[in-house]
Amino acid sequence: MRLPRPVLIATVLTAATGSLLLAPHSATADREPPVREGAGREGTDQPTGAARAPANAARNALTSPVTDLSDSALAAPRRGYPREQVLSPDPENPADKSIKLGLTPYHAIAPKLNALQLLGDRVSVEVAGRSAGGHRLYLVTVTAPESARQTLDQERMRELIENAPQAAAKDPALKASYKTPVFFDNNIHGNEWEGTDAALGLIERLASAKDAETTDLLAHSRLYFNITANPDGRIAGTRANANGFDLNRDFITASQPEARAIRQIAIDKQPAVMLDLHGYVNGTLIEPTTPPHGENYEYDLFLKNTYANALGMEAAVNGLGYTPAKDGVEPVQIPFRDQQEGWDDWPPIFTPQYQAFHGAVAAHTVEIPLAVNNSEYDTLPVAELRRRSAINVDVADAAMRATLTYARTHRASIIADQIEVFRRGATGAAQVPVSAETVPGVPGIGPEDVYTTDFPRAYVIPAGGAQRSATAAARLVDHLLANDVRVTRATRGFRLAGRSYAKGSYVVDLHQPKRGLANVMLADGRDISDKVSVMYDISGWSLGRLWGATVVPVRSGGLSAVAARRVEAAARVGYVAPRGDLRLRLDTPQEIAALNSLLEQGVSVRQLADGSAVVPGSARARAAALARTYDVAFDATGQTRTTGGSPGTPLHRVRVAAAVTPGELFALREMNFDVVPVSTAVLNAGFDWSAADVLFVSSGLDHARLNAGAQAALDAFLHTHGLVGRGTVGAALNSAAGLLAVRPVEGNGDANGVVRVVNSGGPLTANAPDHAFVYAPVWFTDLGPGVRVEQAYAPGDPLVSGHWRPLADGTGGPTAAGGRAAVVSGPHAVLFGTEPLFRDHPKGEFPQVGRALLTVS
């Protein structure tokens, strides 16, 4: 049995030298409501790249991390490498799940990193941010020492590659001296541990190795290690972080601080090669993937490098000598070569797929072989778990070392390919379809592997009357900027492709280095139902359709006549009318959050028939504070209060009992709802329903599994209060309680994507977007008396982008849903067949749930 790698001896440095956070070059922080993330938590480190402050920093101040001076230095002049610092220790935690596996517990990481910095002049440590649970995220850089001037030269060359790729391709100094950035991301799923230990072992060897290959590697590379991307899950032995999120599904949305930290690393360090270490698939699974391939990549360059590097990793892993008979380890598998479908790189939500849009031309998920989590963790003997973990560390180490060999021996072509990615984007060059001719040396390329897209010339996010929601538009612009997408703002009105746009409209020119990222975020996407029979995860995600702003693709025409300036942050839209009562539109999560804050403060608010809220002029000062906090507009109503009262229905602060997914819980709190989580177990243990006003159910509550007392208490609550249900679980509870007379119909459970919808208007769906997101879609038929259709799937085939096939018997497909009710309501109940809060993503749909919760109670 192989033993775990030896534990580094913790060494305490005698003096702190501090660390420098590189000043980044263009992106800005997201516009995020200040409702839960980091609330009340002190000592949050400033993330890598935090020096990139938006032009309007005040808008983001409530969610910006706070510097922990015990771990990171204050802003200082640029320095070279190494950048050493003393990391303060974490309290010892004997409950850390890593310990049972013979691996490194989180509390031992800081001492190990302190010790590694003492081994020479190659290792630097930065704190890249904090996890949802407040734990530090450590980014280690390993490279040959650099003077301050050499570091500045590296930064200039990195900027040149992205911002002037044609010049970079011809720059002899860059070809001779630019250091290839290589990024290893570890432990993003908390109960897939071993990448962290492999990284620590590799850093230790690189820190002091004297061989020619290591010397050459570090002279021509910068190696970045995200030691544990998910410390919350590492400690708890869970896949998710402390907020319950699968972080390897959060890219593009970036709702979690860990994902935002990795995003900033991608922007600031611009890795050309990266690995994301996972488990457990036996034999070790190494991407590239099966179809469908992301259509916005420069896939010929990506496949060329990922396949070649995969072969090197395969040789290294198989070369360890582990066998199925002796060790239970199967030979490596490469999905592109060895599988037909089912392991795709279509969505940009996974770490390697997202990294590709920032210039990574070789980016892989690596699934190490031997399971030690879930049931295995609980049932296998400790000795067997440690045997497996030791093998997994060896496998992860072999994959890392092979990748370093690839980066060293192919340095020139890797950097040339990264430059070419950015050149194609900046110049609007055509994509190159993969084929045996365009990607020589990669066997088995067929028509099933060819995925390209028709890039628009630009996107316009209109201002003025053509914009559904100025608040949603500003949030979307800030999110694009946070992802390093370039945006300009028109300084005067203009016409483009036969359409007029107001001054202040935003333009996203697709002739930019990261056009693939801009397009993958804003485009509709594609219906790929006929391309493959099964997908690994979601297939549609369009921010242009789901985030609540009007976004117009421009297919043709030049932009030379558009007078515009590049922006670093969206212009503020917060406003309060100077007199009279105020009208707050409830079309965005921020507006729902602002309303809930007013209700919490005891302000008397009424809802109009169009779903908007009327706020008394006497609350103008409070409205002004919320307009600044949430960047929302309180317009004049055109009405004044009279002795006869005010129009509309009174609204009240509601406490929500919620049996929901973690993403939905997070979204509810983003809208500033007071939420108490419940479940079957919680209700069976005895729940005080007097503390709740409305119940939201989508997961984890089964009426049939409640004991008699819990059933009686729940039924009594539902017949006097409100229910908002989502999906089959919500519909089942509605049926059990005998509320709305409807028949729910389940579509294909594997279906997901962006769909067209038709809104009926009224307080729930007035001004709602005409697109929604579905995941295991549901629709409602046989509607009884008193049931109102609030939203229906568009007639015919409503699917715009995603993957939605009929079942084997022909039922459950999108045409069966066409024209059917997607959202229904009645006295004290609303049922959703769509997924309006999915993974905290479809921001434009959040207000439908918010309005429902406020009106059914």
Contact in structure between 776 and 746 (CB atoms under 8 Å): yes
Contact in structure between 276 and 352 (CB atoms under 8 Å): yes
State which CATH number among 3.40.50.1820, 3.40.50.880, 1.10.10.60, 1.10.600.10 fits the domain covering 655-856: 3.40.50.880
Which DSSP string corresponds to 351-383? Answer: HHHHHHTTT-SEEEEEEES---SHHHHHHS-HH
Domain 57-425: CATH architecture, name and number where available:
3-Layer(aba) Sandwich (3.40)
What is the spatial distance between Cα 111 and Cα 109, in angstroms, rounded to a whole number? 6
* Beta strands, E only, 143-234: 180-186, 221-226
Please name which of 745, 740, 755, 748 lies closest in space to residue 824, comparing C-alpha atoms. 740
What are the residue boundaries of the structural domains of the chain, listed by start?
A: 57-425, 458-566, 575-651, 655-856
Residue 322: cis peptide before it, omega within 30 degrees of 0 = no
**Dihedral angle over CA of 107, 110, 113, 117, nearest 10:** -150
**First-to-final CA distance of the chain:** 61
Q: Is 226 helix (H, G, I), strand (E, B) or coil?
A: strand
What is the spatial distance between Cα 727 and Cα 787, in angstroms, rounded to a whole number? 17
Instruction: List the catalytic residues.
Output: 367
Contact in structure between 110 and 125 (CB atoms under 8 Å): no
What is the spatial distance between Cα 546 and Cα 847, in angstroms, rounded to a whole number? 12
What is the spatial distance between Cα 373 and Cα 676, in angstroms, rounded to a whole number? 29
- CATH code of 575-651, in short, is 3.30.70
pLDDT at 468: 97
Q: How many CB atoms lie within 10 A of CB 61?
A: 13
Q: Which segments of 428-542 does DSSP mark as H helices, in order? A: 470-482, 515-522
Q: How many CB atoms lie within 10 A of CB 124?
A: 25
What is the spatial distance between Cα 313 and Cα 307, in angstroms, rounded to a whole number? 10
Taking only Cα atoms into account, the Rg of the chain, rounded to an integer number of angstroms, comes to 27
Taking the whole predicted model, whether its pTM rises above 0.85 is answered as yes
Distance of CA 446 to the CA centre of its chain: 31
Q: CA torsion sign, 568 to 570 to 571 to 574?
A: negative
pLDDT at 557: 84
Mean pLDDT, each 10-residue run in order, the chain (857 residues):
31 28 32 30 34 37 33 53 95 98 98 97 97 98 97 98 98 97 98 98 97 98 98 98 98 98 98 98 98 98 98 98 98 98 97 98 98 98 98 98 98 98 98 97 96 97 97 98 98 95 98 98 98 96 98 93 96 97 97 98 96 96 98 85 64 97 98 98 97 97 98 96 97 97 97 98 95 98 97 98 97 98 96 98 98 93
Please name which of 814, 632, 613, 826 lies closest in space to residue 718, comparing C-alpha atoms. 826
Contact in structure between 180 and 407 (CB atoms under 8 Å): yes
